[in-house]
Chains A and B, each alone.
Chain A
Amino acid sequence: MAEVPIEHGLLLAAVLFLLGLIGVMVRRNIIFILLCLEIMLNAAGLAFIVAGSRWGQPDGQVMFLFILTVTAAEVSVGLALVLHLHHRFKTLDADAMSGMKG
């Protein structure tokens, strides 16, 4: 068992999350944006696991399972949308798809 201080686990989650956030802000390719979203979601899951591990309780893992579920649903719909958008705009540039605005 890795007796790691909880702060280290949480910091790792935060770093991963922020890397994902940077990716979302920087990348223009929708595929990359989705990948970065995955990173962020996974980082959130990591934070849950770390917290659950701190108390030796299953709740953190349960939360991770829920995140996994949400991710699966998000990815299936998201990728279907990507296919659709690529078909329509002939590009994956997120900036090119700014038609739906206020």
Chain B
Amino acid sequence: MYSLIWLVPIVPFAGFLLLAFAGRYLPRRAVAIIGPGAVGLSAAVMLLISGQFLAAPPAGYAYEQTLWSWIATGGLEVGFTLYLDPLSVVMGCVITVVGFLIHVYATAYMAEDEGYSKFFAYMNLFVGAMLLLVLGQNLLVLYLGWEGVGLCSYLLIGFWYKKPENGAAAMKAFIVTRIGDVALLIGLFLLVVQFGTLDIPAILAAAPGAWAVGAPAAVAAALLLLGGAVGKSAQLPLQTWLPDAMAGPTPVSALIHAATMVTAGVYLIARLHALFALAPGALLLVGIIGAATLLLAAFSALAQHDLKRILAYSTISQLGYMFLALGVGAWTAALFHFMTHAFFKALLFLGAGAIIHSLRDEQNIFRMGGLRRRLPAVYWTFLAGALALAAAPLITAGFYSKDLILFAAWVSPVGNRWLWGAGLLGAFLTALYTFRMVFLVFHGPERTAPHGRPGPAMTVPLMILALLSLLGGFVETPADLGGVHLFSSFLGHALPGLAAHGSPALEAALQLLSTVAVLGGIALAYQLYLRRREATARWLARPAPDAARRLLLAGWGFDWLYDRLFVRPFVWLATVNKDDSVDAFFRGLARASLLLHGALSRAQTGNLRWYAVGFALGVMALLAIVVFR
């Protein structure tokens, strides 16, 4: 059964190849079967393997399958090896299942697009690359998948390439993440140099013996890896690409920029947790980055008026939570939040897609309203997702995962009150912007009339995801609310648990505080955006709030800052050095050789007999050297 693991990434790749090379000649119906079918098959295999993993785990909770030897040079040997452990099982299941649902949804969403087969080809390639990323046993396979998803991200953001700004957004995403990728690559080189291997288990086993806690090499490696993770997961300071990435089709946003790819950074840090455990400074930095990002992004989300951009900032913010969890050493909590977030964020994006689709590509929430009655299926599922995102207590998955993170931030030995406070404030803001969105879009007077209702191919995935968003949290509940620890005990075989445990009373108190924050946020949203909407608008029109709003709308002006800091100086430097100063040397060489050539070509008279005389003279000279030596 485990030996079938190679099928999981291969099937989407096969789907990609089929669609890429034969897609043009296939009818849409066939494309609609092949695209989701490939991911569905992959999901089925993954679930079967996971079932067996739960029922009869392999020895040491890890299974390796070497497909072939990739590189074998000198001291370095890298196999094309897949690796199955609880961490990759969780990641693989979420990717394939959510991916499959999004594929099904996309068959309807993209129905009228001319690049139908191209779209599914890219999507399949993405799923395959992502699976390679999480199933790779060594860092090289991981890096292959890492770059593969980056490529797909680029291709899919710029999918509607005929609009120049979409292409620009794609390039921005690619270039910004590249900064992180370079850091990651350097990190990999460092690890190769240090350990002579790229096999993750071997590195994790060798690291504690090789490096003392806080050793410079460990810190450097951890920081470089963190650079990669920050780029991929859109954390400070490389978060600017994600909001622009919303230029791609909505299923892409749901799959890549919410549910799966952006969590690659989280996965990377969790996978190499032993390295970060050796670098407490870097780990603390992870937490601080997470906390800062979640607050900045949450504030930005408050000011957005584009539905997808709100969700994009929300994604950045939630990824900040995951980084916060990683930063305080709560690996399991981060993964738990990854899972629930994948469910509800995919759900929200797909719901948003359904809304945008039926409103004929209207994305401004201020031009929406009253869609509750016109799109009931979308409303109820979207509401479920919104509640999960806002972490509404008891009934949603988001509550349990976010609560775990906040609790960990308080009690963890590496955590502190500030991080907890940031998380709590974030929870309040999350509830506020989430329900601002819900109230503006679904309640109030109708502003734009929708056209028709989404079909079953769109609503069924929504409902499944809604169920998962509500019920997915019950695999891990706090001690006072049932004390289920299925998730953490399963992952405990791959990741160390949290060292500290707080008292039940403390836990209850913290839960109460976060509940208050969430409910307060929802109530404030209700007041501001449903009951006293005009008053809010009037207040926002004043100079000071308006300036703040515009700052937030621009995502704290990071784009402006980077433009001034990096882009313009670079462009200036390039302009100044238009006639490459280094080139002058080579141009001089060329000119010198040209001159020399001109001189030599004078010797070439075209007169055959003079050449013969030249030969004879040359022979004479050579012989003279021999004779008179």
Q: Give A contacts to B, CB under 8 Å.
A: 21, 24-28, 33, 94-95, 97-102
Contacts and interface: CB of A to CB of B under 8 A. Distances in A.
Given A102-B600, A102-B601, A24 B609 contact: yes
Contacts of A97: 606, 608
Interface string B598-617: 00111111111100110010
Contacts of A33: 608-609
A94 B604 contact: no
B606 A25 contact: no
Given A33-B609, A101-B601, A102-B601, 14 more contacts: A21-B616, A25-B612, A25-B613, A25-B616, A26-B609, A27-B609, A28-B609, A94-B607, A95-B608, A99-B606, A101-B605, A102-B602, A102-B603, A102-B604
29 contacts: A21-B612, A21-B616, A24-B609, A24-B612, A25-B609, A25-B613, A25-B616, A26-B609, A27-B609, A28-B609, A33-B608, A33-B609, A94-B607, A94-B608, A95-B609, A97-B608, A98-B605, A98-B606, A98-B607, A100-B606, A101-B601, A101-B604, A101-B605, A101-B606, A102-B597, A102-B601, A102-B602, A102-B603, A102-B604
Contacts of A95: 607-609
Contacts of A94: 607-609
In the A-B complex, the 7 residue pairs with the closest CB atoms: A102-B601, A98-B606, A101-B606, A102-B604, A24-B612, A94-B608, A101-B604
Contacts of B609: 24-28, 33, 94-95
Contacts of B605: 98, 101
A98 B613 CA distance: 16
A25 B613 CA distance: 6
Contacts of A24: 609, 612
A26 B613 CA distance: 9
A98 B611 CA distance: 11
B24 to A, nearest CB: 52
A98 B601 CA distance: 13
Nearest to A101: B606
B598 to A, nearest CB: 8
Q: Is the interface of B mostly helix, strand, loop or mixed?
A: helix
A67 to B, nearest CB: 18
A2 B613 CA distance: 36
A21 B604 CA distance: 20
Contacts of A21: 612, 616
A97 B608 CA distance: 8
Interface string B91-131: 00000000000000000000000000000000000000000
Nearest to A99: B606
Contacts of B601: 101-102
A94 B606 CA distance: 9
Interface in B571-629: 597, 600-609, 612-613, 616
A27 B597 CA distance: 29
Q: Which of B597, B604, B608 has the most CB of A within 10 A?
A: B608
A25 B608 CA distance: 8
B120 to A, nearest CB: 61
Contacts of B608: 33, 94-95, 97-98
Interface string B373-399: 000000000000000000000000000
B595 to A, nearest CB: 13
B612 to A, nearest CB: 4
A101 B616 CA distance: 20
Nearest to A36: B612
A28 B601 CA distance: 22
A29 to B, nearest CB: 11
A36 B379 CA distance: 101
A97 B603 CA distance: 16
Contacts of B616: 21, 25
Nearest to A94: B608
A100 B607 CA distance: 9
Contacts of A100: 606
Q: Which of A21, A94, A102 has the most CB of B within 10 A?
A: A102
B623 to A, nearest CB: 11
Contacts of A27: 609
Contacts of B603: 102
Contacts of B613: 25
Nearest to A26: B609
Nearest to B612: A24
Contacts of B597: 102
A18 B421 CA distance: 102
A24 B610 CA distance: 10
B597 to A, nearest CB: 8
Nearest to B613: A25
Interface string B269-289: 000000000000000000000
A15 B77 CA distance: 67
A100 B602 CA distance: 12
Contacts of A26: 609
Contacts of B604: 101-102
Contacts of A28: 609
Nearest to A22: B616
A21 B608 CA distance: 13
Interface string B246-263: 000000000000000000
